[in-house]
Homo-oligomer: A and B are copies of this chain.
Amino acid sequence: MRTSSYRAALARARLRPVGVIRSTLKSRKAAPRQGNEGAPDAWLEVEPSLAKGLLGMAVGDAIVVVTWLHRADRDVLRVHPRSIASNPLTGVFATRSPDRPNPLGLHPVVVRAIDGNRLRIGPIEAIDGTPVVDIKADC
């Protein structure tokens, strides 16, 4: 495959909404940096048209929720990790910074409850209104 081919494949790609996070966390400032740093549980509302994709999901399952971090800065390539100025400048690809060219968030969570097309999940640091673009079994 030539260099141009993968760029063309991606240019045609459009992310579809799979769901949305409904959380008590309302701002990026209020959110912990990672789910395991005191984040709350939240609801994941799956698009009704995609709810068939939840068949077999069970309370207690370990899953990975993939979000689109819509408040991130996509032009940042280097950060001081955890926004601590004394941490050495590091490429975003060597960090978990939300700021990066494609601001995809990976959230390993546990399914706490299932209510139709809504999953209670946690702990998760994503803020209210964050679009969800994928849900997977954890490996």
Contact = CB atoms under 8 A, between A and B. Distances in A.
A123 to B, nearest CB: 13
Give the oligomeric copy count. 2
Contacts of A91: 52-57
Which residue, A58, A64, A92, has most C-beta atoms of chain B within 10 A? A92
Chain A interface residue count: which class?
35 or more
A20 interface: yes
Interface in A73-91: 74, 77-78, 88-91
Interface of A: 1, 3, 5-7, 9-10, 13-18, 20, 34, 46, 50, 52-58, 61, 63-64, 66, 68, 70, 74, 77-78, 88-96, 100-102, 104, 106, 108, 128-131, 133-137, 139
